[in-house]
Structure 1
Amino acid sequence: IRETYKKVGSDILQLLGFEKKDSIRRMNDIIQFETELAIVSLPMEILQKPDATYYLMPLKQLHEQYQSIGFDIYSYFNNVFNINITNPIKFNENNQIIILSFDLMSNVSKIVTNYLSTPNKSYIVIDHLLLSLVVELIPYLPSIFKQTLLPLKTVLLGRDSLPDRWEYCVQETDDSYGYVLGVLYINTVFGETDRKEANNLIKNIREIFDE
């Protein structure tokens, strides 16, 4: 999987204009960066305990995490949450934010800060973000990008061919309007009697658990 990911990532970077040798070197650096992030990530058993995972952090404390690299958290939040707002929200050090684990935030901050503050490593974070963005946008890019990503999907998902255009359109529609389509389907296929039976079934299950 690692070698396939490296090859696919390198090919994508080449599609973006990087030379082959340079793209391979950059992918090795990206994988090293992502490996460091993976090492400090939370194990699944911790993620399944939200009460023990989430942490209420003062915005001032979060700001201090990235102050050394010149990243202004206050400006970031004010810009993100005040797009086309007639009554803007003003974030300051007195506000609080919920994050996924203080230790995780601290460890990730240290890694990112180390890379961004080191002249010959700062580009790696940018490359990582660039590759992540392109992979996310591949469904909307020319087909050559989709073909380039296919070997990785084959290894990860067992998919050996790209979906037909109609399949892609159906999937995108379902992802965007899944609940709405579900309501239309239920209203079309099931009648009032079916809904009453389903409600009674749910009611009985709840009563059993209440006992």
Structure 2
Amino acid sequence: MRILIVDDHGIVREGLKSLLQNQSGVEVVGEGQDGQIAVELAEQLSPDMVIMDMSMPNLNGIEATRLILQHRPNTKVIILSMHPDGHIVKEALAAGASAYVLKSNLFDEMLRALEAVAEGGRYLSPRITDVVIDDYVGKSAEGEPAKTSKLTSRERQIVQLVAEGKTIKEIALILHISPKTADSNRRQMMSKLGFSSVPELTKYAIREGLTSLEF
């Protein structure tokens, strides 16, 4: 199995690479540090599986998963995260991820996740299984759809980039669009979410796990 590792922390990439290289039939074919690079490397290297952090600069793991699977629908994706929130886990699974592993138990659980996904199944860290079930039956939240469900994939990317302090010109460069289009998309996104200021948007992006920033 050919695996691509993507995480913005080099020590995590090295630890995963060391763990996986000792497994029979597993080859680590590449590594990267953000979601944009993940999408590019998935296209170039054609891995069977991508192991990817959720919270990364420029493009988070959930949006990167959507983009990778648009072009390579047979690729398996394992999301790594510090967020046990049920609605974020569901967002990752809806994007097409096959597994969601909490970083707090990463090296204890990774091989179990790898085996489950390689056999065509799914894997969720035990700690978040009950959270997801409670969220599904409506016990843990108000029952309203997440605001992010109103947004297009492009608008979700712009949420992250604006929250991370990128200018319109920088957003346009990263997304390969014109500054005018970037500004228009930003305005539409703010209107849909009902926010009038960047600080409001930033708090929202952090809460929803759309950015690697922290309070």
Instruction: Output the TM-score relative to the length of structure 2.
Output: 0.23
* Larger RCO, structures 1/2 (Cα 8 Å, 6+ apart): 1
Instruction: Output the TM-score relative to the length of structure 1.
Output: 0.23
Please identify the structure whose Cα radius of gyration is greater. Answer: 1
